Each structure stands twice: as C-alpha cells, then as structure tokens.
Structure 1
Amino acid sequence: MSYENILLEKDDKLAVITINRPQSLNALNAKTIQEISSAMDELNADESCRAIIITGSGEKSFVAGADIKEFSDFGQEKAEELARNGHNTLFNKIENTSKPVIAAVNGFALGGGLELAMACHIRYASENAKLGLPEVTLGLIPGYGGTQRLPKLVGKGIANEMIFSAKMIPAQRAKEIGLVNEVYPIEELLTKTKELASIIANNSPMAISKAIQAVNLSDTDKGFESEIKYFGELFEMQDKQEGVTAFLEKRKPNF
C-alpha cells in the first residue's frame, strides 16, 4: 500500500512507521491518522512483523500536535466526533494491538503528538525532545486520551500540573517522572530503539500479546483475574512448549 504522509519500512522482524510531514513539524491531520491506522492494520496482518516503531521525520519533531486548521471552526458535535474517531481509528488501536509498539520521540511531542507517544507501549526520547499538552492555551483539553493516559504514567499531581500549565518539559524530566523510558542523543535514538525492538521481537509473540492485554487491564478490577486466565491459556499454546523445551534442553527458543 502506498502512503502520502508516512513512510513504512520493514526490516526482518521490525517495522518503522515514520510520520513524514516535515513542513508542518509532522502535525497530525485526519489523513495522517488514517494512514498510520492503515499501516498498523497492515503490520498486524503480517506474521513476520514482531515489533513496531513509530517516529517522526527529521530531528526537530516527533509530532508537534494536531493540525489545528482542520478543526478550528468545529462545533460540539463535530468536535466529539473528531475525538471519538481518533480514539477508535488510531490511539486505542495502538494501545490494544497484539504487537509491541515503541515510540522514538525525536524532538517536539506536543498535544496529539504526546498522546500518540503515550498510546505506544514504550517510549524512548532524544535529548532535544520537548513534551507537553498545550491544549488549555487554546481553550481546550486533550482529546486523544491525554487526560486518561498521562495520570496513569506519571500520577495525577504531575499530570494536572502538565495539563493545567500547558508547559513543555525536557526529555530528562520526562524520564525522571516515568513519561519516557530512556533518553539518547538524537543520532542514536533510532538505533537504540531498534536494539530494544529486536530483543523484544525474539521473545514469544504469543506471550507478549497476552502480556499487553494483561498490562492494559492492570488498573481495573479485572487485572488479576485476566493475568491468571492468560497465564493458563498460554499453557495450551505452541510458544510455551517451545520455550520450556528450549530451557530444559539448554538452548535458545525458536519462536
């Protein structure tokens, strides 16, 4: 499939989705959201793909936010539809996909850009990254999951501070509060992200899929029961047999 606003590269078990709108600092518009969603569908259907990286083109910006021009004249009904479609089309799809998705945050991750990164399962950032949710400066609030995912990652107090103040934080501060996992020089970011993705890609895809589901339920009353259920289900799957057999035979498993 051909895309206009993103680049899709596949290399062995890894895939990289690059948001490619440098003229607008990779801002998210409706077409870009749909293209990322379509790429996710393509990669989820590809059994050879074990891990997905999402990044932005250039060194200035991961995603500098939503394309404000697209919704500047919306009323309530159209605005709610915009947010709901974003959740269903992309952000929830990433969070609940069966394959691990890692954000390589290169530069600005603001508004919808930070919300996109937070929907991913893991976040690495470049040293020049700046992260924030500036929506209240527009008289709005985050609409693509920012008010829900940020408190889970950093706690309510820090989330409230970031949302209410609209201030950007640097990458090292983002690491201190648990918003990103690691920080690297910009020239090393994608390499380090691929290294992590490669390690993950060699583990059991069946187990990782169940782990994603269980972790996503960790803040609900279904969390513990889901872990027990998925743990049991894996005992009936091929990967468990291979993993245990390889351990007993003192060799690396071949998933």
Structure 2
Amino acid sequence: NRPTKRNAISRQLLKELREAIDQIHIEYSEYEKNQKITSRKKYLQSQPTTRVVILNSSIESCFCAGADLTERESFTAKETACFLADLRSTFSSLSDLPIPSISAISSVALGGGLELALCTNLRVLSSTAIVGLPETRLGIIPGAGGTYRLPALIGQSRARDLILTGRRISGREAHFLGLADRLVEILPKENESNIQLRTRALQEVQEAAINLAFEICEGGPLAISCALKAVNSVDEEIENQMYEKVVVSDDRNEALLAFKEKRKPNFTGR
C-alpha cells in the first residue's frame, strides 16, 4: 500500500508482503501439526482464521505499477540480483499458499503489477482495467514469472502475442482471453467525472472480490484446500490422493448429514 508511488514494489513493500504471506504459511503449518490433537476444543482453537486472501489497491488510479524504478536506479548489480531473488521467491510463496487467493483490479496493472496478479488463483477485473507486460518495449523481458505463469493461464499462443508486442489490454479482453476470471462491467453515468468513475470501479471490483471470497468460503475448508492443491498440480495421482483425504473426513460426513437434514453444513476443517 504505497498510494503516492502507485503501489510500486520497493524493498520495504516487498518485505511487508513477504511477512504477510509467511504468516499465513505459518498459520497453516501449525494447523497441520495440530491435526492429531485428540481434544476437539483444542483442535478447534488451533484452526486458522484466514480462509481467503484478497489483493487490492487502496487507490483508484493503479493496482500496482510494478517495481519501484526510482529505487532500482540506485541499486548496485548485487543489490539488483538480491532484490529480484527476493521478488521471485515472494511471488512463488504467494502462488503456493494453501488457501485461495484473489486479485481485485479496477485500474492499471502493468509489468510486475500484472505478474503479482498472476500469482493469485483468481482475478477479478473491471471493464476499466488495463493490464499488460510491456517489458520488451523497455529492452527486457518479464522477470517475475510472467513468461511461464501467463502461458499456463491463457495458452502459449495468446501469451506470446501479449509478451512480444508488450501491448496493453482492457479488462474485457483480459476476460475473453481467460486472464480474468470475473468481469465487473463499469458503465459511465450521466455527469460522472473520470475520478468518480474510477472510484466506483475500485469499490465495485472490491465488492465483487469479497463476494467471490464468501462464495468460496461456503465450501468446507479441508475440501477447498485439497481441491486447490489438486487443480494446481494438474495430476491424476494428486487428485486421487486429495479425494482419498476428504472422502473420509468429518466435513464430508457433516455435509452428507446436513443434506439429509436440509440445512447448511457446519464445517470444522477436519
């Protein structure tokens, strides 16, 4: 959250992002260790409180401007290498979270800003959003996962087009290509200023992302975690392993009982 710098990723911002991500990993790591606890009370007390992560901007003009180029200008070659290593490691840690993650984009996400969004499982974009990987026009290439995460998401041919041309695309085209999972249409109202339009877009995209998060949280925590792992692995063996894990779970039995009793299930994540 660096509104005056359009959320450009500085060393300090990267450090804070990594700390937040690490905290979630620790939370779920401790939870895994405590799954063998026999006391139901102690087990429930150890349950993680974070179910979904949402990345969004607090300013209407930009989701993330990518790396802080002003700060980067002062880096030595060694400092640049260290920063890139930290950036890549942090982005990979974000993509490896054991819970669903969502990016909410209502404005501009270019270069590292889009690469950040590519690390989340889902992306909610407004029709006013502008995204792209313009690095080739600056004499470099995407260096924080863009060259492999984008093709994995929308296919090599479409990713090749965006990366080689460096062109910017709208939220509507991003949705058509499969880059955006949910599209929020923002139509201008009579006498509405550009700033008012962008502010409304920010609010509506955030609301859509939160609604998506609540929709996800309707599912059982264990089932969501296992489904996420199975989908990310693109592997039949992993799917079988995850299914075997959930089919004998308390949550599965509770869901069957709730269906029979015509009520909402009370999931415990066990």
Shorter chain as normaliser: what TM range? 0.7 to 0.9
Q: Percent identity?
A: 36
**What is the deviation of 1:115?**
0.7
Q: Cα RMSD between the aligned structures?
A: 1.8
CA contact (8 A) 1:26 1:57 kept: no
Higher deviation after alignment, 237-246 or 171-180: 237-246
Distance 1:236 1:29 in 2: 46
Specify whether residues 169 and 139 from structure 1 end up closer, same or farther in structure 2 by C-alpha distance, changes over 3 A only: same
CA distance in 2, matches of 1:242, 1:141: 50
Identify if the C-alpha distance between structure 1 residues 181 and 193 changes in structure 2 by more than 3 Å, giving closer, same or farther.
Answer: same
Q: Which consecutive unaligned segments of at least 5 residues does structure 1 have?
A: 1-19
Q: Which of 1 and 2 has greater Rg? A: 2
Per the normalisation by structure 1, the TM-score is: 0.84
Q: Deviations over 1:147-201 (max 9, x none)?
A: 0110011111111111111111111000010000122231411111111111111
Q: Is the 8 A contact 1:246 1:252 kept in 2?
A: yes
Figure out how many residues of one structure are paired with residues of the other and give that number: 230
Query: By how many angstroms is 1:74 displaced?
Result: 4.7
Is the CA contact (8 Å cut-off) linking 1:96 and 1:213 kept in structure 2? no
Check the 8 A contact 1:96/1:212 in 2, yes or no: no
Length-normalised TM-score, structure 2 = 0.80
3-state SS of paired residue (1:102): strand
User: Is 2:221 the counterpart of 1:205?
Assistant: yes
| Match in the other structure for 1:191 | 207
Structure 2: runs of 5+ lacking an equivalent: 28-46, 187-200
Q: Please state if 1:229 is matched with 2:230.
A: no
Say if 1:57 and 1:30 are closer, same or farther in 2 by CA, change over 3 A.
same
- Runs of 4+ aligned structure 1 residues displaced above 4 Å come to 77-80
Higher strand content, 1 or 2 = 1
**Are positions 1:246 and 2:262 aligned together?**
no
Per-residue CA deviations over 1:201-226 (Å, capped at 9, x if unaligned) read 121111111111111111xxxx1100
What residue in structure 2 maps to residue 31 of structure 1?
Answer: 12
**Bigger helix fraction:** 2
Instruction: Find the counterpart in structure 2 of residue 52 from structure 1.
Output: 53
Secondary structure of the residue aligned to 2:262 is: coil
